[in-house]
Structures are given as structure tokens and as C-alpha cells.
Amino acid sequence: DQQVKQNSPSLSVQEGRISILNCDYTNSMFDYFLWYKKYPAEGPTFLISISSIKDKNEDGRFTVFLNKSAKHLSLHIVPSQPGDSAVYFCAASGGTGANSKLTFGKGITLSVRP
Amino acid sequence: KAGVTQTPRYLIKTRGQQVTLSCSPISGHRSVSWYQQTPGQGLQFLFEYFSETQRNKGNFPGRFSGRQFSNSRSEMNVSTLELGDSALYLCASSTTGVSTDTQYFGPGTRLTVL
């Protein structure tokens, strides 16, 4: 079963507008959430993270929101730029042992149109 | 500080052969995790090594194995290759490997099995 879900495989946004990427999770043990960005032929690059004790974390144009009751998080990119076009992975971890590893969603391909 | 490096970047093998991939973590990082990325399954956790010991393991067959050396460098081995093993293999390093420790990825090794 997929514990981290990114239900939309792709998103297209106009340059300068807001991009909202969504992610849902099912495992209540997850307490740390991350977003990674990946360009073709490169490894994922860490973007931003949030601990379960917070509901929002901001870093420049990137903001991650966490709704624990709904087991949902989202990444907002404002304003979107063409260089943001990439695959975005949501990941979660928590607990000890096997749960401390990162569990990834399948990714969302973001295209920012000039 | 140098990032995570992986060698080789590309490999072509035939079914039944075996392969060894190498990963050098960021200096000072003692945890190394390996992931397999395929178009259909996204990033899936293979195993994690810390201080030369396998600490966590994902749901992969025993053909997939790894080790870590005293300098934290890690190798991953796949024996009796199958067509389905064709994938991008990523390694990630972190300081301690606990769930709130950000993992930094290398560029990956693209393995093609013919």
C-alpha cells in the first residue's frame, strides 16, 4: 500500500502565478515531511521540510503547509518561475527502525510556462 | 563541502550478471541509504547503513545487498540481474540517519539490464 500519495501526476502553471502541489499520507507515525525537487539526470535536491509540531514552514518562495488531522501537506511556490519546472517528490519519515527511512510519493511533474 | 558522489553514472549489463555500485557520502555523514527509482514505482527504499552496519532494509529480494566501509563509503551489489532491475539507483547520506535528519542525494547510477 502506498503510504505517501501524490495523486496528480502533473501540473502546469503560468510564470508568476502560484503553484500548489499536494501530498497525502496514511501512516500516523510520520512526523517529519520533506519536499525534494528533481531535474532529469540528477538526484533529488532537498527543498524544504516541516516537523509535525508545526503547521507551516517558509523558505523564500517556498512554503509548506501541514494539516495533521487531514494527513495532508502542500507545497506552495510563489511566484512560479520557469526554472521551477521539475519533478517534485513529497517524502515522509517518523518513528524508529524501518519507519525512520524516507517514504516517497511518486512525484508531480511541474511545468511553468513563460 | 563536496556533495554525494556515485560511480559509475551509467551501466549496461545483461541478465544473469551481477553489478556493484559505489557511493561516497558527504564528509562527516555516517548514514548512507540506497533507493531504486523506476517510472512506475517512484523512489523505493532499499537499505540504510550506519557505522558499517545495515540498520534498515526495504522490501527487496536478497539479490540486493550492500555494505559500508569504515570511511562511510558504501557499495550496493545486485546479483543475477533481471530485466526489471533496470532503474536509477540513488544513494543519500545524512549525519546520523534519524528521521528528522535531512538526506542529501547523489546524481544516481542508471542501470540498464538487457
pLDDT at site B40:
75
- pLDDT tens digits for range B71-113: 999 999 999 999 999 999 999 999 987 777 888 999 999 999 9
Of A34, A94, A102, the CB nearest to B45: A102
- pLDDT tens digits for range A17-75: 999 999 999 999 899 999 999 998 889 999 999 999 999 999 999 999 999 999 999 99
Residue of B nearest to A41 (CA): B107
Q: Give the closest-approach CA distance of B66 to chain A in angstroms.
A: 16
Buried b (16+ CB within 10 A) or exposed e, B1-19: eeebebeeeebebeeeeeb
3 state SS of B42: strand
Average pLDDT over residues B56-67: 93
- The C-alpha angle B35, B40, B43, rounded to 5 degrees, equals 20
**Grid coordinates in use for A73?**
501537506
**Grid coordinates in use for A93?**
519519515
> Is B107 within 8 Å of A42 when comparing Cβ atoms?
yes
Which residues of chain B are within 8 Å of residue A39 when distances are taken between CB atoms?
A: none
